Structure 1
Amino acid sequence: MHRHGMAIGLERHDEHVFLTLRLWGKLTHSDYQLLTPMLEQAIGGLTKPRINALVDARDFQGWELRAAWDDFKLGMKHGSAFHRIAVVGHNPMQGFVTRLGGWFIEGQARYFENEGDALAWLLEG
């Protein structure tokens, strides 16, 4: 049995949402079945939600195929709500995937190797 999953934190202040995700292992469709309703509930009823997200991907090993599709659909559905996404990781491929994912949101996505730098960037925006 392989360990996988995500820890999710959500804070909401008026139209602003701060999302923290810690990812580990290879994500599955069932992981997204947990995340999606939580995110939709957090932004439900907001006219112009603005999400800043801190994603800790240091222990992340990728997606199963269906989970990758779930991630793409989530980005297409809520991409306009994301203002900034800071991904903290440990290898150049994660930086490439962050830049690629940035094409599907209206805001900005950046890759960092230092969590403090990532948080500072999120808070300045």
Structure 2
Amino acid sequence: MEKQEIIEKKSLNLLKDIDLDTKKEIAKIGMTATMGITVATSMYMKNKFMKRLHVVAGVALVGFSYWHHTLYQPAKKKESKKALPEKISSKESETTVEENQNVAISLNSFFAEMAITGKLTHNEFKSFEEKIETLLSSYEVPSMNILIDITKLEGVEFKVLWDDILFTLKHIKEMKKVAIVGNSKAEEYSTSFANRVFPFSLEYFEEYSKAKEWLKA
């Protein structure tokens, strides 16, 4: 454990020593490489290895895109954000559920949830995004928790990857916790990687109940 922490600290120090222009180039190369892998593997989703590589590359693409985005942002003072209330009334805790062909979306004051079955489409993702906007508009200083169940995910439309990048960049400051419920090591590793990149907390779970408890903690 200590050895891993030492390696992580050395990696962070190495990044700090790299000048801004070099970081931008690294981010661009990372985006290009992961985009290429994502596109190439999308043609072989029936292959188990390719499917896992597709998921990992997709998450890495989002990570590199976010990093690239932050490198071009001027330094700003961090604004304090009001967290979701620990206790809410029964009226506020009501859940709205919408079911599409492959996606079940639920929304309440604790977290927004998306459970995916089959292939995730652009329209389904946009529907989820609209629900998120509803959650955010309920709070004067918005913050949100998200639960995404991908245990039955079979793939995503290519356009969804871009939708995901735009959504993350748009709401990066509002995100507080994101829980991923899955059933493969590739998903776990990609979630762990993303957690190191993004400023919000992102955790992987194999059990829905534990993910839900973590979001409400």
Please indicate, yes or no, whether the TM-score normalized by the shorter chain is above 0.5: yes
Q: Using the alignment, how far apart are the partners of 1:76 and 1:104 within structure 2?
A: 13
> 1:21-100 maps to which residues of 2 (within 5 A)?
21-44=114-137, 46-100=139-193
TM-score under structure 1 length normalisation: 0.80
Tell me, yes or no, if structure 1 residue 7 matches structure 2 residue 104. Answer: yes
Q: CA deviation at 1:62?
A: 2.8
Equivalent residue letter for 1:71:
D
**Match of 1:122?**
215
User: Relative contact order (alpha carbons < 8 A, sep ≥ 6): 1 or 2 greater?
Assistant: 1
1:102 CA displacement: 3.5
Q: Cα offset for 1:9? A: 0.9
Q: TM-score, normalised by structure 2?
A: 0.49
CA distance in 1, matches of 2:130, 2:141: 18
Aligned length, in residue pairs: 118
CA–CA separation in structure 1 for the residues paired with 2:194 and 2:116: 16
| Equivalent residues of 2:111, 2:215 under 8 A apart | no
Contact 2:114 2:128 in 1 (8 A): no
Unaligned runs of at least 5 residues, structure 1: none
* 4+ residue runs over 2 A deviation: 44-48, 96-106
Q: Structure 1's 52 and 77: CA in aligned 2 closer, same or farther, altered over 3 A?
A: same
Structure with greater strand percent? 1
- SS of match in other structure, 1:24: strand
1:90-125 deviation per Cα after TM superposition (whole angstroms, max 9, x unaligned): 00121133234435643201111122221222222x
Q: CA deviation at 1:61?
A: 2.1
* Structure with greater Cα Rg: 2
Partner SS, residue 20 of structure 1: strand
